[in-house]
């Protein structure tokens, strides 16, 4: 009997905690640092629903004072866990004007990105990774607007560098009191 109760509880817990697909968002402004934006800031969705704007309703910092992994952000009344935070490079193919949004897999603080793997987070090749083949700096010593890069054999102009986060729904939609009710029902 006890095993049935434990299996039932495990099934209820699994249903209560959403698996949650990841969502890729970028901040509509290009901060110099990854300072925590004020509530009301507009986050632009890159994936899965490109161009949907989400106003930030709240932010819970992990204590480091900047947007980073393990912070939580409130959007649409739902708290999301930040799984990744870093730069998004909005760039345009110089041959045909196709836009891409990419993020480095292991972003460096500055310097030459040649050899870095860049992950396409919006565009027809979503989730494809490419190495940066070469980089022509605009003179500031870091990846920024007006740099030229060769990625996937194509020449790209970096238009802007923005803040990007990957988030998943945090926690459980079950009210805190529900767990206590379930435990008491089964005599735990």
pLDDT in tens, 14-40: 333 344 678 988 886 655 568 899 999
| Burial class of residue 40 (count of CB atoms within 10 Å of its CB; 0-12, 13-18, 19+) | exposed
| Burial class of residue 112 (count of CB atoms within 10 Å of its CB; 0-12, 13-18, 19+) | middle
- Does residue 47 have a pLDDT over 90? no
Is residue 67 situated within a structural domain?
yes
Is residue 146 situated within a structural domain?
yes
What pLDDT shows up at residue 178?
Answer: 55
Instruction: Give the C-alpha separation, 183 to 188, whole Å.
Output: 5
- Does residue 71 have a pLDDT over 50? yes
pLDDT in tens, 1-18: 444 433 333 333 333 334
Q: What is the percentage of the chain residues whose pLDDT exceeds 70? A: 74
- The upper half-sphere exposure of residue 125, i.e. CA atoms within 13 Å in the direction of its Cβ, equals 13
Is residue 132 situated within a structural domain?
yes
- Does residue 120 have a pLDDT over 50? yes
The chain-wide mean pLDDT, for the chain, equals 81
Instruction: Give the C-alpha separation, 159 to 146, whole Å.
Output: 6
Is residue 74 situated within a structural domain?
yes
Mention every residue, 6+ apart, whose C-beta is less than 8 A from residue 14.
none
- Does residue 122 have a pLDDT over 70? yes
Q: Structural domain tally of the chain?
A: 1
Is residue 188 situated within a structural domain?
no
Is residue 72 situated within a structural domain?
yes
Structural tokens at position 53: 């704007």
**In which domain, by residue range, is 31 found?**
18-169
What pLDDT shows up at residue 121?
Answer: 87
**Maximum separation of any 2 CA atoms in the chain, in Å:** 71
């Amino acid at each position: 009997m006890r095993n049935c109760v434990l299996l039932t509880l495990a099934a209820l817990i699994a249903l209560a905690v959403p698996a949650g697909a990841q969502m890729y968002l970028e901040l509509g402004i290009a901060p110099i640092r990854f300072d925590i934006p004020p509530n009301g800031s507009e986050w632009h969705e890159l994936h899965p629903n490109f161009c949907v704007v989400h106003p930030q309703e709240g932010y819970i910092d992990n204590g480091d004072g900047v947007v980073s992994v393990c912070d939580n952000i409130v959007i649409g009344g739902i708290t999301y866990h930040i799984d990744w935070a870093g730069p998004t490079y909005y760039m345009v193919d110089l041959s045909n004007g196709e836009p891409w949004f990419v993020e480095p897999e292991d972003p460096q603080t500055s310097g030459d990105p040649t050899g870095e793997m860049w992950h396409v987070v919006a565009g027809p090749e979503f989730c494809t990774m490419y190495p940066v083949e070469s980089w022509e700096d605009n003179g500031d010593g870091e990846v920024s607007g007006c740099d030229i890069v060769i990625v996937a054999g194509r020449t790209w102009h970096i238009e802007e560098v923005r803040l990007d986060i990957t988030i998943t729904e945090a926690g459980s939609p079950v009210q805190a009191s529900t767990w206590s009710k379930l435990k008491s029902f089964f005599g735990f």
